[in-house]
Amino acid sequence: MDMPLNSGTTPYVETRRHELRKMRLVMIDGQLAVNTRSSEGGVSARVYEGGYWGLAAAPDGDPAELQRQARRHAQAMARFGARPSLALPGGSYRGEHVVRGKPPLTAQECSERLSALHAYCRQQFPDLKSTRFVLQEEQHAKWLSSSAGAESLASIHRASCYITLIADDAQGAPVEMFAPLSTKGSLAELDLSPEGLAPRLHEMHGHLQAKRHAVPAVGGLHTVVIAPALAGMLAHEAMGHPCEADIVLGGAITGDLRGQRVASELVSMVDFAHSFQGQETMIPVYADDEGTPARDAVLIDRGRLTEFMNSRETAARLGLAPTGSARAYAPSDEPLVRMRNTAILPGTSKLADMIAGVEQGYLLMTTSNGQADSTTEFMFGVSLGYEIRNGQLGRAIRDTTVSGSAIKVLQSVDAVSDDMVWNCSGYCGKKQPMVVSMGGPALRARAHLGGE
């Protein structure tokens, strides 16, 4: 059993040096519209004393002085009333992790690749009204030490390419098709050549043609086949956040559901720390920003809610083991309980068989946005979907929404596909942004659709 990191009147102290580098390049209709690069860094210190945390941060400075400031901040917080000083659980990670891969592309190389993609789209798809390509790259390096003996270097490096193709529908109104590509490492890890992306671009164009003649969905409760991209969003937004321990302590419905069935026995869901099936995840976290060794958090095991994602403090408050889920986005941010690589695990069904088993329903393929609350109620935009009639795909449907209680939707799941799709192209918002990845197979379930 891990010894507590603080005891008696001795405060617990962390110091973090954090560098964050970002680049963004946008090309619209072959013209470079945005080409930015930014870099920020800083030092922060955090102290836990008298039941309160104190944080101090600066672009540069003496760590010892920041620690003194952080301790004064914790002591100032104590004026709001006495609180028990919890014995913070968790071990202390010692080691280094750096994402290694191909050398990054230059701005010129990025621009040349996007110009070639635009020219290819114009030549192959003359009906397009507009093309938009966005390249993004982001790199975090965090050096952490603590009074409990943690000494770590953590690295997160990811890259994304966003593709948008726009055409006019049958009535002359614009319709668009969007696809994100993402990878661990730099943009050099993505094949951005026209030859490499040709299958994806032609698939997107085919969907775009179908959307030009889309029909409205019939509103109401339907049998839906939720494609992996949307299943990953469901895992992250609708069930992931209510399983973050600070939200549980804030009154999330999940707080009273541990050990109870919240999904079909076909559904298992895990927030992976750094590895999945022997491969490193897109957002590998070996130690969090408290120096806790990171481990997988099994949120749902064959339908039953099993545990939550924890920081040291939330673990102490709930009487659970920490999972290494405390993460800070920017150099001056405090660590919060955040997801890492959240996914529903694959099953045994084939996607084609899942569709063939639907007499009347919908295939929901991609989402444009999503929101959920601590009751697991959610609403996501559906930017690509198709009718299913007598086990066959029919007409594309216009942009709509899918909504419901994540618990009720997951309890209705009667098939889970055997494939798995991961994506790390987006951000999670919770007081501060955060780089995360999400994944999933396809699910067949019952959910509400907006429509006529």
The 10s digit of each residue's pLDDT in 11-22 is 999 999 999 999
Residue 242 CA to residue 227 CA, distance in Å, equals 22
* 82-99 burial code (b ≥16 CB/10 A, e <16): eeebbebbbbbbeeebeb
The pLDDT value given to residue 42: 97
Q: Are residues 163 and 307 in the same domain?
A: no
> SS3 of 370, please?
strand
Report the alpha-carbon angle 180-186-188, nearest 5: 85
Q: Are residues 181 and 37 in the same domain?
A: yes
The amino acid sitting at 286 is: Y
Task: Let me know: does 288 contact 335? Beta carbons within 8 Å.
Answer: yes
Which residue ranges of the chain lie beneath pLDDT 50? 1, 3, 8
Number of CB atoms found within 10 A of residue 413's CB? 21
Q: Are residues 190 and 324 in the same domain?
A: no
Q: Two tokens at 183?
A: 């990878």
Residue 380 to residues 101, 175, 343, 409, Cα–Cα distance (Å):
35, 19, 17, 13
Residue 341 CA to residue 108 CA, distance in Å, equals 32
Residue 174 CA to residue 390 CA, distance in Å, equals 31
Q: Two tokens at 139?
A: 């790199």
> Which residue intervals of 82-176 are DSSP H helices?
107-124
Residue with tokens 């946005």: 369
The pLDDT value given to residue 8: 46
Which of 211, 239, 263 corresponds to the end of one domain?
211
The pLDDT value given to residue 452: 75
Q: Are residues 143 and 249 in the same domain?
A: no
Q: Are residues 247 and 166 in the same domain?
A: no
- Phi and psi dihedrals of 45, rounded to 5? -135, 145
Instruction: State which H helix or E strand residue 139 sits in.
Output: strand 130-146
The pLDDT value given to residue 1: 38
Which of 176, 211, 246 corresponds to the end of one domain?
211
Q: Two tokens at 148?
A: 């409990």
> Which residue intervals of 250-405 are DSSP H helices?
312-318, 351-356
Q: Are residues 252 and 163 in the same domain?
A: no
The pLDDT value given to residue 2: 53
CATH of the domain at 70: 3.30.2290.10
The amino acid sitting at 134 is: V
Q: Are residues 247 and 202 in the same domain?
A: no
Report the alpha-carbon angle 93-8-63, nearest 5: 50
Number of structural domains, the chain? 2
274 within some domain: yes
4 within some domain: no
Its domain, for residue 289, covers 220-449
64 burial level (CB within 10 Å; 0-12, 13-18, 19+)? exposed
Q: Are residues 37 and 180 in the same domain?
A: yes
> Quick one: CA dihedral 395, 178, 380, 263, positive or negative?
positive
Q: Are residues 231 and 82 in the same domain?
A: no
How many angstroms from the chain centroid is the CA of residue 6? 32
The pLDDT value given to residue 354: 98
Left (φ > 0), alpha (ψ -120 to 50) or beta: where does 260 sit? Answer: beta
Number of CB atoms found within 10 A of residue 242's CB? 26
Which of 150, 176, 211 corresponds to the end of one domain?
211
63 within some domain: yes
Using N-to-C axis directions, what is the helix angle for 194-211 and 107-124, rounded to 10°? Answer: 50
Residue 202 CA to residue 260 CA, distance in Å, equals 45
Dihedral angle at the C-alpha atoms of 105, 108, 113, 115, nearest 10 degrees? 160
Task: Let me know: does 420 contact 441? Beta carbons within 8 Å.
Answer: yes
Task: Let me know: does 284 contact 184? Beta carbons within 8 Å.
Answer: yes
| Global pTM value | 0.95
